[in-house]
Amino acid sequence: MREKSTKVLVIATSRKTRGGITSVIKAHETGAQWKKFHCRWIETHVDKGVGKKLWRFIISLMQFMVLIPFYNLAHIHLSKPPSTYRKYFFFRLAKLLHKKVVIHLHIGNQIESVWNKMYEKFFVQADVVIVLSHVAEKMIKKLLNGKEANIQVLYNPTVSIPSTGEVSQHPYILFAGTLDYNKGFRDLIRSFAKIASDHATWKLVFAGNGEIDEGKHLAKELGIEAQTLFLGWINGEVKDKVFKEASIFCLPSYAEGFPMAVLDAWTYGLPVITTPVGGLPDVLEDGKNALVFHPGDMQHLSHQLERLISDDELRKNISKESLKLSQTVFAIENINQQLADIYKELL
C-alpha cells in the first residue's frame, strides 16, 4: 500500500468537550502526521443532556459506518467504563472490516478499580494499545494476567504557549482542573488554611468548573475567603495570563491518566506541587522537578506549600526543570513524531 493512500479515523469525544482527551487530540492535529495520514476526527460524545448525548452518538456511528470502508486505521480513544461501551460498536465494525485499530487509553491508576472484561477485549484484540505511562503499562499487563497485548507508551504532549522562563512574582498558587473530590481541591484549601495567616499576601486561584460553591463555602468556613479566588473555566488569552502570572502550581489529585494541567504548568515554567498518581511517577523527582506528597496527606501538602512559598531559590530551580521537561520529554513535536511512527509501523 502506498503511504500517501493511508487514512486514519480518530474516534473520540467532541472537540468542544472540556478535558484532557480533547486537548491531546487538538495537539495531535497540529502535527505533520495529521495531514500525512489524512486523519479525520469523529466526535462521539458531548457534555450535554442525555438526549443530545444519544443523538451525538447515533450521528457519529453513522459517520463511522459510511467512512470506515475508505480508511485503513481506526484510532479509538478510551477512558472510563461508559466510554468503553460507546466505543465498542466502532471497534467491532473496524475489526469486522479488517482495519487496523489503535486503542488509546486515557486513564492511569484508576484502571485497576474500574477494570472489566470490556477493557480486556479491547486490549487483546487491538493492533496497538497506547497508554500514557510505563506505570499504566505495568498495571495493565498485570490485569491481563498473561494475555498478550501490544502495549506502547505515548506521553501526552505539552500544548500551551511557551514561557519566557521568568518566574512570576505574583504571589498566588494556581489550581487548574475540574473542582471535584478526585482532583483534591478541598485538600488544597484545607492545607493552605494551615499556613495562610503566615503568608497574608498569598492567594489560592482556582481555574475550572465543578464544585465552585462548595469551595467558596469551605474557604469561608476556614477563614481564608479573602485569600481565595474562583475563576471558573478559562481558556485562550485568559488562561495564558493566569498561568503566566502564577508563582506556584498545585494539583493534589487522587487519580489521573497523565494530567494535562501539570503539562501546562511545566510549559509555563511553573514549579509544581503534586501527587505521584497516574503517569507522573515516570518523571517526578521530589525536590528536583517537583515537590511531591501522597494523596490526602494534607499535613505534608501544607509543608510543601510552605517550602515553595518561602524559598525563592527553590522555586527558580524547580521552574528550570519544569521548562526542561516541557521542551524535551513532552515536547509536542516529539510526541507527534512518535505517533506518526506508530501509524507507519501499522500501515
Instruction: List pLDDT tens digits, range 57-68.
Output: 999 999 999 999
Strands (E), 44-146: 73-78, 100-105, 128-131
Residue 279 has pLDDT above 60, yes or no: yes
Give the number of domains in the chain: 2
pLDDT tens digits along 100-115: 999 999 998 889 889 9
Question: What pTM, to 2 d.p., does this model score?
Answer: 0.89
Mean per-residue pLDDT, 220-246: 94
The answer to whether 216 touches 232, Cβ cutoff 8 Å, is no
Give the 3-state secondary structure of residue 287. Answer: coil
Does 74 lie in the same domain as 39?
Answer: yes
pLDDT tier for residue 164 given thresholds of 50, 70 and 90: low
Which residues does residue 176 pair with via DSSP β-bridges, in sequence order?
A: 207
Does 23 lie in the same domain as 72?
Answer: yes
Q: What's residue 115's pLDDT?
A: 93
Judge whether 163 lies within some domain.
no
Sheet holding 172-176, edge to edge: 228-232, 203-207, 172-176, 248-251, 272-274, 291-292
Residue 280 domain boundaries: 172-327
Q: What's residue 251's pLDDT?
A: 98
Record the cell numbers describing residue 263, joined without a space: 503539562
| Angle, helices 185-193/212-221, rounded to nearest 10 degrees | 20
Does 183 lie in the same domain as 143?
Answer: no
On average, the pLDDT of the chain sits at 93
Least confidently predicted of 18-32, 191-205, 324-338: 18-32
Does 236 lie in the same domain as 303?
Answer: yes
Q: What's residue 125's pLDDT?
A: 97
Least confidently predicted of 101-115, 166-180, 200-214: 166-180
The answer to whether 27 touches 56, Cβ cutoff 8 Å, is no
The answer to whether 342 touches 130, Cβ cutoff 8 Å, is yes
Give the 3-state secondary structure of residue 175. Answer: strand
Q: What's residue 19's pLDDT?
A: 77
Judge whether 150 lies within some domain.
yes
Residue 168 has pLDDT above 60, yes or no: no
Does 341 lie in the same domain as 272?
Answer: no
Does 149 lie in the same domain as 11?
Answer: yes
pLDDT tier for residue 49 given thresholds of 50, 70 and 90: confident
Separation between Cα atoms, residue 75 and residue 152, nearest integer Å: 14
Judge whether 40 lies within some domain.
yes
pLDDT tier for residue 160 given thresholds of 50, 70 and 90: low
Residue 255 has pLDDT above 60, yes or no: yes
Record the cell numbers describing residue 222, joined without a space: 476556614
The answer to whether 116 touches 85, Cβ cutoff 8 Å, is no
Q: What's residue 179's pLDDT?
A: 96
Judge whether 167 lies within some domain.
no
The answer to whether 257 touches 78, Cβ cutoff 8 Å, is no
Q: What's residue 329's pLDDT?
A: 94
List of residues 6+ apart from 311 with CB closer than 8 A: none
Q: What's residue 161's pLDDT?
A: 65
Residue 3 has pLDDT above 50, yes or no: no
- Long-range CB pairs of 299-305 (<8 Å, 24+ gap) are 299/191, 301/187, 301/188, 301/191, 301/250, 301/252, 301/273, 302/191, 302/192, 302/194, 302/195, 304/273, 305/173, 305/191, 305/192, 305/195, 305/248, 305/250, 305/273
Least confidently predicted of 112-126, 164-178, 226-240: 164-178
Judge whether 165 lies within some domain.
no
Share of the chain above pLDDT 90, in %: 86
Rg for the chain (alpha carbons), in Å?
A: 21
Does 245 lie in the same domain as 178?
Answer: yes
Judge whether 46 lies within some domain.
yes
Q: What's residue 2's pLDDT?
A: 43
Exposed e or buried b per residue across 133-144, where buried means at least 16 C-beta atoms within 10 angstroms of its C-beta = bebbbebbbeeb
Look at the block and give the residue holding cell 466505543. Answer: 87
Q: What's residue 166's pLDDT?
A: 54
Share of the chain above pLDDT 70, in %: 96
Does 120 lie in the same domain as 255?
Answer: no
- Long-range CB pairs of 279-285 (<8 Å, 24+ gap) are 279/108, 279/132, 279/133, 279/134, 279/135, 279/136, 279/155, 280/133, 280/256, 281/133, 281/135, 282/133, 282/134, 282/135, 282/155, 283/325, 283/329, 285/321
Does 335 lie in the same domain as 313?
Answer: no
Residue 340 has pLDDT above 80, yes or no: yes
Does 143 lie in the same domain as 263?
Answer: no
Judge whether 166 lies within some domain.
no
Judge whether 101 lies within some domain.
yes
* CATH code: domain of residue 248: 3.40.50.2000
Does 142 lie in the same domain as 36?
Answer: yes
Residue 84 has pLDDT above 80, yes or no: yes
Residue 4 has pLDDT above 80, yes or no: no
Instruction: Report which of residues 231 and 169 the model is more confident about.
Output: 231
Does 281 lie in the same domain as 204?
Answer: yes
pLDDT tens digits along 9-24: 999 999 988 778 999 9
